Amino acid sequence: MIQEVKMYTVICDNCKKSADDDTDYSCWNDKNAAKEIAMEASWITEDDNDYCPDCYSYDDYNNLIIGKPKTFCRIEYSQKEGLFNIEEHPIGYQKIPYPDWKILSDNLTIEQCTQFSEEIGFNNSLDKVQTELRKFIAKNL
């Protein structure tokens, strides 16, 4: 005889991922067990919603941020050195670079920055980097 049973899992309210995705189980037979397993895997509950570890972070002021990327990538250029640099920072990071470094872009992901640097290389004139960056952003964003 086959009988239907009621089982539970926790679903991320942001990305809809299930808490059992990274485990050997597909669900649990009681709500508390499902919740407990999720919490052990760094899930959080906020205003009755559940979020997986990929979907929340804290900014520099310890404010909870839901559903946004945890980092951004900054492209900086040093005219003195004649090259640019990419740096990944946590969201909320505001420190400005050394005076001879100029911020060219503050809104790319680390993947996009890496792709950009691989496409053009680090040693370039400021004009070339700015031109290429404009093209890159037009093409990719």
Q: Should residue 113 be labelled a site residue for Zn ion when binding is judged by CB under 5 A?
A: no
Ranges assigned E (strand) in 34-70: 44-46, 49-51, 56-58, 64-66
Tell me whether residue 10 or residue 55 sits nearer to Zn ion (CB atom): 55
Question: Contact at 8 Å (CB) between 12 and 52?
Answer: yes
From residue 14 to residue 43, what is the string marking binding to Zn ion with x (rule CB under 5 A)? xx-x--------------------------
How many angstroms separate the first and last alpha carbons of the chain?
55
Q: Should residue 64 be labelled a site residue for Zn ion when binding is judged by CB under 5 A?
A: no
Tell me whether residue 19 or residue 129 sits nearer to Zn ion (CB atom): 19
Among 19, 52, 73, 133, binds Zn ion (CB under 5 A): 52
Question: Contact at 8 Å (CB) between 37 and 28?
Answer: yes
